[in-house]
Structure 1
């Protein structure tokens, strides 16, 4: 496992786009969070913490691209055969990729969330919104947002392992994340609307950001993040099976 981790870390570290994608996660998340906080300061908002973390819903797209390329890029170039020759146990390769991708997204996520919350605290200071990580709900929203990005990365990695084509895998992941809320929005039946929100990886997962009016949520914060965790675990499980049953 140690050798596999070193191999995966070396590949991602030396890939030209990795640093840019990680920077993109931070910059996009912070920029959209600050924009939302500024708009909130002008019009008022009910949940300042969630508003400051609005950028997570868009930064996740960059995370998905990064995770997909960790697998899809190797299949497109044929480099995956070399990887399997060096580390014959394919489950170990997938586990190593998951650890490396998860660690990189974790670092970028922590940076993005910390800056977003601090920026939100500054922007919303005049609005009476005292954002502080010492506040339990705000801390939960911040930690949950970081974990959300990590789980999106693992979900994307699993999907890419199954699909193998980078472009198709990105399309599948973004469809899973963004189409569920769109479909739910056009459903007229309130019961089905809640069901779709509860199983949607994005809607359910982002429930962890809510710090006010928790009773109105379709699913509780940590349970919602658990739904996304199940999606990620399922994708990795299917991806692991696909690696074992199919040729490289």
Structure 2
């Protein structure tokens, strides 16, 4: 397994694309989070709002670049034909996919940590000026606060899971454009459908099974009863999607020709 990990790490760090995608993910996440924090106001006590979730809004955009990166890790090799070289050097195909998953999780986790901490810092600096103060029932964001720490750690895990889901999708489909379209459709279309459906039962069900709508409940620190699932249960749904995609992709990788 160690040679496989070394090979994947070498491929990731010796090309410019992954680095730019990770930097773009950090920038997009922090920028959207700062923008979201700057446009809301809390003008009176009890104004509501969830400062932690609001400050992590950018994760909804940053996950797009994570998905693109993860897809290219596999489907990019199919596009160039390099997958044959990879599987010749590492004939244990399950180990090859596992190595890709481990390296991807590591780099997305590191970049996600920077993005999440930057987003929370932006929220901590911006929100008090918009009325989110102790006088209005909102304390400054701090990782010493249990719910805020859970929202931050959960957001990092969520980004890593989106990467693994996308990696599995790419192993299944083997085409970059189709894989990216499939992942983004899965992430963004289910929430849209849930809003379009008038039946509250079906709306809640779609929110419970969608990898994004369920997974991002981990960011909620207030009004948890309004969420489709509990925070960790919601993240578990995203983990189930990622596991299913990886298992299916691994099985197909072992049975199909490169």
**What is the distance in 2 between the residues matched to 1:15 and 1:71?**
14
Of 134, 137, 160, 2:144 maps to: 134
Q: Among 102, 106, 115, which residue is 2:105 paired with?
A: 102
2:123 matched residue in structure 1: 120
1:188-222 deviations in Å (ceiling 9; x for gaps): 11111111100000000000000000011111100
Give the distance between the partners of 2:15 and 2:186, measured in 1 at CA: 27
Counterpart Cα distance in 1 of 2:40 and 2:109: 27
> In the alignment, which of 86, 103, 112 is matched to residue 83 of structure 1?
86
Tell me how many residue pairs correspond in the alignment: 248
In 2, the alpha carbon distance for the partners of 1:203 and 1:87 equals: 37
Q: Secondary structure at the match of 1:61?
A: helix
CA distance in 2 between counterparts of 1:137 and 1:2 reads 37
After TM superposition, the score normalised by the length of structure 2 is: 0.94
Q: What is the match of residue 4 of structure 1?
A: 4
Q: Distance in 2 between matches of 1:178 and 1:71?
A: 22
Unaligned runs of 5+ in 2: none
- Cα distance in 2 for residues equivalent to 1:70 and 1:170: 12
Q: Which residue of 1 aligns with 2:180?
A: 170
Shift of 1:139: 0.4
Partner of 1:203: 213
User: Runs of 4 or more off by more than 6 Å in structure 1?
Assistant: none
- How far off is 1:16 after superposition? 1.7
SS at match of 2:186: helix
Distance 2:142 2:39 in 1: 20
Q: Secondary structure at the match of 1:124?
A: helix
TM-score by length of 1: 0.98
TM superposition shift of 1:124: 1.2
- Verify the 8 A CA contact 1:41 1:123 in the aligned structure 2: no
Aligned residues: CA RMSD:
1.0
Note the C-alpha offset of 1:45: 5.4
Deviations along 1:104-123, one digit per CA (max 9) or x if unpaired, are 00000000001110110011
Gaps of 5+ in 1: none
